[in-house]
Structure 1
Amino acid sequence: MSDENRTSDTPKGPRPEPLRFFGTTWVEHDGNYRLRRVVVPSARSSPAAVSCLVLRFAYQGLEIAEVGGAVTLIVVVMFAVCSALAFGHTWEAFTKRPDPERQSSLRGLLAIGFVGSLLAYFFRSLVEAPGERLLREEYEKARATHEKRTSRRTGNPSRKPRRRG
């Protein structure tokens, strides 16, 4: 296939950004979108459950080591707070683009609060494809801008009759 044929087959204008596990099926809700909407939440609930189990084993390890009530309380509160913050940050990232600098500074907190991030992804996938609303808004805005830009000019301006007077 020549380069000319490839460029004529590609649509003009903005292209939708693919989502993880959904590709670009979120645009028209086609290509097994409904099936993916069922599979993704169920697939996301198992890592969250396994993560909670791992945290339970860590808690039991603290009990076996008899480190004391204060250390156990600090560890439990740390995981709870980090998970809550990670949940909020991940949930917010589905509605607006996160700041890259803030994202890198929160990397440690998000790693500690991984259960919160997994749960946010799970609950968001019950409502929509995670990030679909944000990408849809950006895509529709880009399409409107493209339509406005391309519909503004019609024809060659040098061929227009000049007005005198």
Structure 2
Amino acid sequence: MSAENGKNGTPDTQAGPRPEPLRFYGTTWVHHDDGYTARRAGLAVGSLAVAAAACFVLRLAYQGLQIADIGSFVSLLMIVMFAVCSALAFRHTWSAFTRRPDPDRQASLRGLLAIGFVGSLLAYFLRTFTEAPGEKLHRAEYEKAREEYERRTTRRTGNPSKKRRRK
């Protein structure tokens, strides 16, 4: 990271680890400043609006299948597929807010998460009511890094060579 904090080009006086920025929030999640609450409200509304628009698009796709008269089995299969993928995507996205997902597992679930994108959007929407999505995980990691930094940089008091020896 740079030596500037981004405000007026002033140098950052805080030594040690810096917080990792969250998507859409930057580092405002640390002190809940610079429009943090407005961003949470806006992103909650936005994610719900995108989820509603996605459901509308899926409904159009379903109506297209009905018009094509491909049969009730394929229509039922499509509904079940989107419902299951959305539920799994919701669960995966929700758990990713509290712990880092395994990169290999994440790569293998990429297709499922793409199909169940509505579940991911709904998880994001619901999480914004309690915190910025991922804030709890990032805050725990940041506080742990700060504690380790403080532990490493604390100085001993006094000169150890002048310490009295026990006889």
What TM-score comes out, normalization by structure 1 length? 0.88
Counterpart of 1:115 in structure 2 is 118
Counterpart of 1:71 in structure 2 is 74
Q: 1:115, 1:14 → 2: CA distance? A: 35
Q: 1:73, 1:57 → 2: CA distance? A: 15
Report how far residue 154 of structure 1 moved: 3.3
Structure number with the higher helix fraction is 1
Q: How does 1:120-139 map to 2 (within 5 A)?
A: 120-139=123-142
Q: 1:81, 1:22 → 2: CA distance? A: 30
Gaps of 5+ in 1: none
Q: 2:77, 2:65 → 1: CA distance? A: 11
Report how far residue 21 of structure 1 moved: 1.1
1:36 and 2:70 matched: no
CA, structure 1 residues 84+9, in 2 after alignment: closer, same or farther (shift >3 Å)?
A: closer
Gaps of 5+ in 2: 4-8
Counterpart of 1:18 in structure 2 is 21
Q: 2:88, 2:153 → 1: CA distance? A: 44
CA, structure 1 residues 110+9, in 2 after alignment: closer, same or farther (shift >3 Å)?
A: closer
State the SS of the aligned residue for 2:152. helix
Alignment equivalent of 1:80, drawn from 70, 73, 83: 83
- Residue deviations 1:3-47, cap 9 Å, x none? 9xx9x7442111111111111111111111111121110111111
Q: 2:117, 2:12 → 1: CA distance? A: 43
Number of aligned positions between the proteins: 158
Of all paired residues, the percent bearing the same amino acid is 62
For the aligned residues, what is the CA RMSD? Answer: 2.1
Counterpart of 2:156 in structure 1 is 154
Q: How does 1:52-71 map to 2 (within 5 A)?
A: 52-71=55-74
- Residue deviations 1:76-105, cap 9 Å, x none? 100100000000000000000000000000
Q: 2:123, 2:12 → 1: CA distance? A: 39
